[in-house]
Amino acid sequence: MYLSNKLSRLFGKFASYEFFYPLQCLINMTYVKIFKINLSEFAPASSYKSLNALFTRALCVNRPINPNPIVLISPCDSLITQLGKSSEGNALQIKGMEYNIEELLGQKLDRELYYINFYLSPKDYHRYHAPCDMEIHEVRYFGGELLPVNLPSLKKNSNLFIRNERVVIFAKTASNKHIYFVAVGALNVGSMVMHFEPKIQTNAKMHNINYTYSTPIQINKGEELGMFKMGSTIVLFMEQMIPDIKINQKVKFAQDIGTYS
């Protein structure tokens, strides 16, 4: 077990512990103040029984979803750290630092893919949603490290997304195009939750696990897929995509980010 995983487990236990109410309020308010969290769309900090409950807070408002089926929406609140089209099977982790997509996804590819990297900071909303209507055919869990995924770490650690623990969702769009939704673990992420597959237990086992579905799981655009137990990264790969966003742009879940065919 990597040291980063052990530290994340310890932090996860602390974050999940329910302290007596006055102390828990103080912990929550301190966290909100340190990270300058805007709770205007969420319940007040004092209502969460643990720090983890605050991390994984649900929205208290409905953000409108664009009904146009070819419009992609952001799956989460995040910072766009990189985007583009793969080249010779590689994608950019950060400018000037490539990694192999086949290694990340755990399968051979016969096509180039478009990609977007979404970085969720500790202050962001930590639930993630479907960027379009999709049929889930397979989900893969890869055990690994839990290194930080912030910008300094992305610049320092090569093959970071491949080295880190991750969950890969393989799906198809309504037009039968391939889509890969990759949730990458990070330091202090006690676990990643996938609502459609409760058997996935992250930061628990180091070996890899695959689940395939003879009858694909239908997920509607905007439907909640799962959550991080703190900030991390999502990498979205699509066979066809025209992004309408820029690197270093902040986006919010349900915001239009481009189109696909």
> Which positions are catalytic?
77, 129, 232
Q: Which of 168, 148, 178, 136 is nearest to 234 (CA)?
A: 168
Distance of alpha carbon 182 from alpha carbon 161, whole angstroms: 9
Neighbouring C-alpha atoms within 13 Å toward the C-beta of 220: 6
Sequence-distant (6+) residues with CB within 8 A of 10 are none
